Structure 1
Amino acid sequence: MNLLNTSYKPNSYGLEIKHSILFECTLGIAMITYPKLHEKLEKPKQSLDVLRNSVSEKLEAELQYCQEHNTWKMLLQLLHVQDFESIHSFVDNINGLDDQTFIYHVLPFLDESQQKNRMLASKGDKRAAEEMILASKGHQYFPQMIHFISEIEPALLKKHLVHLMTGWYNEILLEEKQETEEILKRDYETKINKRATISNQELVQLATGIEYKPESNIAKVILVPQISYRPWTIEANLEGTKIFYYPVSNESFSDHVDINQPPPDLVQLYKALGDEKRLTIMRYLSQRERTLKELTELLDIGKTTVHHHLTMLRTAHIVGVKGSVYSIKMESIRKHEQKLMEYLERSED
């Protein structure tokens, strides 16, 4: 069959960089209520356990509810409704939304084909909600989340979200608010300055470690610096928009830059490569893409162990996964080679 391709493939996308203590507040809630990841975060698990045990009984109840229903995701979506100057303006906005608009914003964005169902589900259409659940089948938590939203009274959900957000903000974030805002601002300003010298795609890769290429359904990318999930980048989608909540750089933690301090993503890369099995995985993936099952058979070790090694390689942004197929990210490896030379050749100037 002969094919004449007249489709349009974009070669770029718009880029927006924003920072807010409210994003950090919400991501802190997301992080503390996802214990499966606690062993893989920059902050020691013991410190996170102490942090969780330090909250009031009232906040702990809200955190547990969040952990059961992934309500942190709803807070993140609400934060993108508009730019909020303070937690008070954010809370006022939540309380001021009519029920339909509120439910629409907290329902997860799946893709353009489900937007009609999202609108109908926000009006109480159970069939539309079921179609969204079916469409998101296979996602880690979207089906349960959609079912939960379609059943709960909007007033009760609003109350929970407000108590959850204000509780974490006042009990955990407020004490270090100024320092946190300074770190986020420094990283934001660094990225803004970089934007004048490199392309949008290069800046996204610099911030996230991910080589994100233009997609036909994505017109804009938003970069949001965060501390809570370091060294992980959190990816999300909204209508026509890709969002990366990326880890702030090491340099952003202080006004003074220590030129002898290696970049954290460089350290992370060599830690990931400093293992015989992981190097072997890289060798196999350099030959062709492979599934977890294939790699498990080739390495002749447990599936759980292979998955752990792949997670470390993905965290270092040198291995990617699409569906169930893993592949090596050669462009990212070359970028790290360049970053190593830049670090070795740093001067006082």
Structure 2
Amino acid sequence: MRDRMSKELQQEVNLAGEVHTWRSLLFLAHRCPDLLQSPWEQHIKLFLNWIQENENCLVKLATPYLGEVYASELEEALSGNHVAQDHLIQNHSDNPVIHLNLRYLFSVDSRTFLQHLKKLLACWYKELLFSDMPHTMLALQQDKQHNEQISDVLKSTELIRLVTKGSELQPHPGVDTLWMIPQSAYRPFTVINYLPQCLVYYYPVADEFLPGGIAQTQMMQVAALHKALGDVQRIRLLSLIRHSPKSLGELTNTLNATKSNVHHHLTLLRTAGLVQVEDGVYSINHEAVSQVGTELQVVLGMQKNKMLEE
């Protein structure tokens, strides 16, 4: 995909990856009032016009929901209170997405932020999505219809575990609404988002609904799996979270490595489906690991070494 990007788009994508403004777009999309009542062909234009009209309060609208416990402090931080800003950043230091996103939003001016989002979204759509949108929308719609049908016979916990490939639904105080939204742009990851009284799972659209089908996806998964297992440091990470989930900070301290280095390794493990993350805490995907082979299971202590027993 990067080979198809203009230099302008590459610059915006790099920034979005560093400070997680892709997540800002998710928050803004939920708050844009015109999208649900209009056809998808009009969404980009409507959304760009809406964020332009809301330039003065755009940073506030794009700020992640941190829960009611932080509501008043977040309001102060967005008003320029540096003590509140530093406190919120420090309190979320174990979550690299929230931590870096807050740091950026507290420092950027509205005009710069608006221009970044407009270029990121408009160029991404024009250069990467436009020609494939009919196929993409069809895949998303088919996935949605399929899961609506099976939701009648599955509990919420079972449905989430199935469509997200392993995520567990945890109780969240104050949450009374659960949204499940298929996506293709961030496959194979599931993005979890928090809104007032809402928990949102943006889950990867199922393989069978994508162009090329399951066969093409399986080849990519096998390649990602072997790449993920081709480094001793990544095997160490799997071993560390084998018995108990750990945050990025805990893993960094244990390995005496930099956060960026550990995060890179964790990303490759997530791409292969071996690791999952929720609320900044990484855990092993036991079902995925069990399908890899006995050697990995022996290394992680999930299966006894039969040769040693003999």
TM class, shorter-chain normalised? Answer: 0.5 to 0.7
> Does 2:204 align with 1:247?
yes
Letter in 2 for 1:195: S
Measured in 2, the distance between the counterparts of 1:310 and 1:66 equals 19
Measured in 2, the distance between the counterparts of 1:326 and 1:285 equals 7
Structure 1 residue 104: deviation in Å? 1.7
Two-structure CA RMSD over aligned residues (Å): 4.4
1:167-205 per-position Cα deviation (integer Å, ceiling 9, x unaligned): 211222111111111111111111112122222221111
Relative to structure 1, the CA distance from residue 119 to residue 205 in structure 2 (aligned partners, 3 Å threshold; closer, same or farther) is same
Measured in 2, the distance between the counterparts of 1:68 and 1:148 equals 9
Aligned residue for 2:9? 59
The one of 186, 206, 222 aligned to 2:162: 206
Letter in 2 for 1:253: L
Letter in 1 for 2:10: E
Aligned residue for 1:76? 26
Relative to structure 1, the CA distance from residue 311 to residue 99 in structure 2 (aligned partners, 3 Å threshold; closer, same or farther) is closer
Structure 1 residue 151: deviation in Å? 2.6
Aligned residue for 1:107? 63
The one of 172, 178, 185 aligned to 2:128: 172
Q: Secondary structure at the match of 2:169?
A: coil
> Does 2:146 align with 1:190?
yes
Relative to structure 1, the CA distance from residue 310 to residue 213 in structure 2 (aligned partners, 3 Å threshold; closer, same or farther) is same
Gaps of at least 5 residues in structure 1 are: 1-47, 297-305, 336-349
Measured in 1, the distance between the counterparts of 2:143 and 2:275 equals 26
> Does 2:188 align with 1:235?
no
Measured in 1, the distance between the counterparts of 2:241 and 2:12 equals 43
Q: Secondary structure at the match of 1:80?
A: helix
Letter in 2 for 1:238: L
Contact 1:249 1:264 in 2 (8 A): no
Relative to structure 1, the CA distance from residue 151 to residue 181 in structure 2 (aligned partners, 3 Å threshold; closer, same or farther) is same
Relative to structure 1, the CA distance from residue 212 to residue 121 in structure 2 (aligned partners, 3 Å threshold; closer, same or farther) is same
Q: Secondary structure at the match of 2:200?
A: strand
Structure 1 residue 241: deviation in Å? 2.7
Contact 1:104 1:118 in 2 (8 A): no
Letter in 2 for 1:252: F
The one of 81, 94, 98 aligned to 1:142: 98
Q: Secondary structure at the match of 1:87?
A: helix
Contact 1:110 1:136 in 2 (8 A): no
TM-score by length of 1: 0.61
The one of 176, 182, 187 aligned to 1:225: 182
Structure 1 residue 314: deviation in Å? 5.4
Measured in 2, the distance between the counterparts of 1:158 and 1:325 equals 31
